[in-house]
Amino acid sequence: MIRLIGSGGANRAMEVEVKRLSKRAIGGHLPKAHRKDGQNLRYPFDSSLAWLAVRYARTPSRVVWDLFETTASRLEPLYDAIFSHISASKPTWLVDKLRFTVEVNHAHDFPASPLQVRGTVKNAIVDAASHLGLSLSLDPKHPQLVFRVEANADRTLISLDLAGRSLHRRGQRTWTSEASLKETLAAQMLILARWDPRSEALLDPMTGAGTLVLEAVGSAQGRATWPPDEQPVASNFPPFAELTLDRPDLFPGELPPLTAIEVHTPTYRSLERNIKNAELATDIRLLHGDFRDMRSDQLWPGQSPPSRGLVIVNPPYGERLEQGRGYAPELEELYVDLRDWWLELDGEWRLAILGPGRLLKSILGHQAQLDKPMKNGPLSVSLLVYSK
């Protein structure tokens, strides 16, 4: 099975994105996804689909190939199960001289430490490969195979991480702040808000590091999520090494108007560098100032404002801005100002905002088109989408 792993509640966005990408890149009928839980989406194994997901999908944090699972509940039976499976099946991914590492991501209720589990899995893989006449070497710093282990008292699942690292690292942002949004969550926001780059402009009034606008460009054009000089570790072994699905953009064409506003001067300078580093300087209009001081004629000087679009924003929130059971007055004032500014924009503008759902709904109204609970790191938040 191929499994896409996302943040809590990411399944819907991941499934929508995979359908869109697969129609353009590989065609054919996409098998029905199995939602294991709120953050694990599984598909029957298909090498082209897996490669597409690991190279182009923007919503998952990981794409893994689930190899096998065992009910072994102690170290010795775990070793035997892994050794027997590999030596008997002679898997296609097992290639002589490859370097590998083992990462234990979960080890709940397993009667051994994560370090012991890691050592047992490592030994079983090395010994099984040797039994088949192959030599693998452990190399945690520069692996060509990355095994992922999820162990508990009932079962242990062994997978191959097809990227070899978290997929939120796009190589575009050279600067981030403490409160910067992860790229994967930004991509989920765009999909859940149903932003249509063919007909809607995009406007971020509190841009920060630029994550939302950078993801908007990448999503609209179907850009690969990897820097040109990097490849997923899956490119080192069959059945992925021979695939030739890569292309510059899956959805080439002109972009709609994209505007990014940032008031904090050091952050704005860093935003400029991030946009330049992503080679998007001509695709995004950058404005330095407070969104509250900007009206439609200032947002698009010398041209007619777009007739419709999406305001998407990740405003300040979190424990630092909460006071006891309430919120700091300046936070409520900011949200009120944001609401009024959005309502005064010329044209049909929708609003997608991520933040404390209870407070936002008290200011924006409870009849949101979308009210989606999400996790931003350790914080429980809501993505709310409104129309005027």
19, 141, 150, 236 from 121: Cα distances, Å: 35, 18, 11, 21
Mode of pairing for the β-strands spanning 322-323 and 326-327: antiparallel
Question: What sign does the dihedral 224-237-91-143 (CA atoms) show?
Answer: negative
The answer to whether domain 183-223+231-386 has CATH 3.40.50.11440 is no
Locus of tokens 């992922």:
148
Contacts of 141 (CB under 8 A, 6+ apart): none
Q: Quote the pTM value.
A: 0.91
| CA 128/CA 281 separation, integer angstroms | 51
In angstroms, the CA 274 to CA 183 distance is: 13
Rg of the chain over all Cα atoms, to the nearest angstrom? 23
Domain borders along the chain are 2-161, 183-223+231-386
| Topology (CATH level 3) of domain 2-161 | VC0802-like (3.30.2130)
DSSP character for 320? Answer: G
Residues of the chain with pLDDT under 70: 171-179, 244-246, 280-282, 318-327
3-state secondary structure of 117: helix
* Cβ pair 158, 69 in contact under 8 A: yes
Pairing label, strands 62-70, 40-43: unpaired
Q: Which residues contact 3 (CB under 8 A, 6 or more apart)?
A: 36, 40, 41, 42, 43, 63, 64, 65, 66, 159
Residue-level pLDDT at 50? 94
CA 43 from centre of chain: 18
Task: Determine the angle formed by the axes of helices 357-364 and 329-344, rounding to 10 degrees.
Answer: 50
Q: Give me the helices (H) in the chain, please.
A: 11-25, 47-56, 75-89, 114-131, 183-192, 211-221, 265-277, 296-299, 329-344, 357-364
Written in H, E and C, the secondary structure of 4-71 is EECCCCCHHHHHHHHHHHHHHHCCCCCCCCEEEECCEEEECCCHHHHHHHHHHCCCCCEEEEEEEEEC
223 close to 289: Cβ distance less than 8 angstroms: no
Rounded to whole angstroms, the Cα distance separating 100 from 146 reads 6
Contact call for residues 179 and 316 (beta carbons, < 8 A): yes
3 state DSSP class of 281:
coil
pLDDT of residue 3: 97
Is the separation of the CB atoms in 268 and 262 below 8 Å?
yes
Mapping DSSP to helix (H, G, I), strand (E, B) and coil, where does residue 132 land? coil
- Measured from the Cβ of residue 91, the count of other Cβ atoms closer than 10 Å reads 17
pLDDT score recorded for residue 323: 43
